Structure formats: structure tokens, C-alpha cells
């Protein structure tokens, strides 16, 4: 479905080129969930931006199946505070100039998939963090994309809620069988969701894991010894982080 070969991406830092992605090969087949893990600043978001076409690769090739449609879930929900939940979910349809009647149906359909139909009339400030992120997922789903790109979608949520959201996402996959490319730095999240995990370090994939846990997966999967074994194995392969502890400056935490 998506074939990336020898992808390189450099950003200019002043006059000095800064290599972010340095020869990435990635093949994503239909209905697969592929996860990229790596420390912050390793270029995960840049990779997703390139897949989606928001950033142009410096060199290398990205082949997408003809007419492939993407839905993008950002790290923060990025909801527009002056629009209701339904208005936010319908935003991509407004941009795509879909007629109103059809829009309403599609919005309802997308909200159904994340179990938020009852919240259609609420405003973002009335939502909890988990609800807001589900609205963002509904917004990414509303045009029935072929591929869902998820950039650390649950990293702002507490661990319990996060497991919950992981299971919800698994259910969503069971229904829709959407191809997903996920970015995270939670190993648990990567293992529970993925068919394949790629470890990104210094602009390259240094390790690949094919997770063979049986589907459908759910809460019980977290408790299986196979799950624990995968988590342990991936931990063992994580590169040492020389400069810990280090301060990561990010934009202030905001949920909506």
C-alpha cells in the first residue's frame, strides 16, 4: 500500500543542514498496523508528515497506491474551540465541500465508530482528554480514509485511560480493518496494537519486530506471558540514552 525507499529528509538549521531521516525503508500492507517507536526528536512526526505529503522528502521515494486517502491524528487533539464536536468532526468535509445532508450522515457514522454520538453537540471545553482524542480520531475517520496516521495519539493521557483507548482502537480496527501507521514512545502501546514495530534511532530503523500476538486482542492480551515477553525483548533492544536526564522543551500541555 505504501512503499518508502531510501527516504532522506534534512532540515536547515540556519545554514547547517540537519539530517532527520537518513535512509528509511518502509513497506506497509493493507490492514496492517505498523508502529514506529523512538525517542523524542528522532524524526517520527517528520516521517508521518512525509507519508502524508505535508513534507517533501529531500531524496528517496514514497510510492502510495493511486488515490490513497489519509486521515491524520495529531499528538494533541487540535480541536477548534468554537466548533461543536460534530462541527469539528465535519471540518474535513466542509473543506472538501461535501453537501450538508451527506455531511451530517458521515459525521454521525464517524462518531458512532468512536462511541461519541451522544456528545455531538458539546464544545471541546466540555470534553475530557480521552473524549477529545476520540473526537480527533473520528475527525480523521470521517472521510473513510484508507490509511490512518496516528502521531502519539494517547501520550497526553494517563496510563489507565491509555490502555482503555488502546483497546478501543483495537475494536475500531476489528470493525474497519483500517491500515494504520502509529507513532508512540510507549512500548506497551506498540506491542498491544501492532503487527510490526520499527525502532527509529538517528534517522534509521535499527530494529524490526513482527508481533505475532493473536487477534482479536483486548484487555486480556495485556496479561498474557507472550505480551510481557515482547515488551521485555523490545526493552532489551532500546539503545542506551547517553545524556539522561535531559530536558525536553515542548509546547505547554493542552488537551484540546
Partner 1 sequence: MNWSDSWRGLVKLGLYAVSLIVFWQLVIWVVRPAPWLFPSPTAVFSRLGDLASSGQLWRHVGITLSEVLSGFCGGSALGFLLGYSLSRFAWVERLLSPLLVASNSVPVVAFAPLLLLWFGSGFQTKAIVAAVMVFLPVGLNTLQGFRAVRDVHRRLMFSLHANRRQIFLLLELPSALPSILTGLKIAAPLAVVGAVVGEFLGTWEGLGFLILDANARLDTPQLFVALFCLSWVGMGLYFAIQFLEIKVLGPQMRTKLPGKPP
Residues forming the site for ligand ADP (CB under 6 A): 11, 20, 38, 40-46
**Concatenated DSSP letters of 115-161:** T-GGGTT--GGGS-HHHHHHHHHHHHHTT--SEEEEESTTTTS-HHH
C-beta of 212 vs 251, nearer to partner 1: 251
C-alpha torsion angle, residues 252, 187, 167, 153 (rounded to 10) = 30
Phi, psi (degrees; rounded to nearest 5) at 75: -55, -40
Nearest to 136 by CA among 51, 76, 48: 76
Q: Is 88 helix (H, G, I), strand (E, B) or coil?
A: helix
Binding to Mg ion by residue 45, rule CB under 5 A?
yes
Binding to Mg ion by residue 179, rule CB under 5 A?
no
Binding to partner 1 by residue 175, rule CB under 8 A?
no
Binding to partner 1 by residue 6, rule CB under 8 A?
no
Residue 95, binding choice from ligand ADP, partner 1, Mg ion, none, Cβ under 5 to 8 Å by partner class: partner 1
C-beta of 18 vs 27, nearer to ligand ADP: 18
Binding to partner 1 by residue 231, rule CB under 8 A?
no
Binding to partner 1 by residue 52, rule CB under 8 A?
yes
Residue 46, binding choice from Mg ion, ligand ADP, partner 1, none, Cβ under 5 to 8 Å by partner class: ligand ADP
Sheet of 2-13, strand order: 16-28, 2-13, 59-64
How far apart CA 6 and CA 22 sit, in angstroms, is: 8
> Which positions from 77 to 96 touch partner 1 by CB under 8 A, shown as an x/- string?
-x-xxx-x------xx-xxx
Write down the least CB distance from residue 179 to ligand ADP, Å: 20
- The CA angle 178-31-97, to the nearest 5 degrees, is 35
Write down the least CB distance from residue 70 to partner 1, Å: 8
Strand partners, 108: none
Q: Footprint of partner 1 on this chain (CB under 8 A)?
A: 52, 54, 70, 72, 74, 76, 78, 80-82, 84, 91-92, 94-96, 123, 125-126, 251
Amino acid at each position: 500500500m505504501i512503499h518508502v525507499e531510501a527516504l532522506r529528509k534534512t532540515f536547515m538549521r540556519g545554514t547547517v543542514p540537519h539530517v532527520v531521516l537518513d535512509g528509511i525503508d518502509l513497506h506497509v500492507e493493507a490492514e496492517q498496523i505498523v508502529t514506529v517507536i523512538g525517542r523524542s526528536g528522532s524524526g517520527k512526526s517528520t516521517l508521518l508528515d512525509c507519508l502524508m505529503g505535508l513534507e517533501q522528502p529531500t531524496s528517496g521515494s514514497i510510492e502510495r497506491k493511486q488515490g490513497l486517502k489519509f486521515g491524520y491524528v495529531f499528538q494533541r487533539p487540535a480541536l477548534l474551540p468554537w466548533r461543536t464536536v460534530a462541527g469539528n468532526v465535519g471540518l474535513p468535509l466542509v473543506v472538501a465541500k461535501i453537501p450538508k445532508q451527506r455531511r451530517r450522515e458521515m459525521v454521525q457514522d464517524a462518531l458512532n465508530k468512536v462511541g461519541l454520538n451522544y456528545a455531538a453537540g458539546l464544545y471541546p471545553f466540555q470534553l475530557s482528554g480521552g473524549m477529545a482524542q476520540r473526537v480527533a480520531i473520528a475527525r480523521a475517520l470521517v472521510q473513510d480514509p484508507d490509511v490512518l496516521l496516528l502521531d502519539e495519539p494517547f501520550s497526553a493521557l494517563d496510563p489507565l485511560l491509555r490502555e482503555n483507548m488502546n483497546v478501543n482502537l483495537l475494536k475500531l480496527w476489528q470493525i474497519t480493518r483500517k491500515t494504520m501507521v502509529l507513532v508512540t514512545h510507549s512500548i506497551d502501546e506498540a506491542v498491544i496494537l501492532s503487527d510490526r514495530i520499527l525502532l527509529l534511532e538517528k534517522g534509521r530503523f535499527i530494529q524490526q519486530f513482527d508481533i505475532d500476538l493473536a487477534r482479536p486482542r483486548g484487555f486480556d492480551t495485556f496479561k498474557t506471558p507472550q505480551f510481557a515477553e515482547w515488551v521485555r525483548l523490545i526493552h532489551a533492544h532500546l539503545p542506551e540514552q547517553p545524556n539522561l536526564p535531559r530536558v525536553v522543551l515542548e509546547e505547554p500541555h493542552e488537551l484540546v
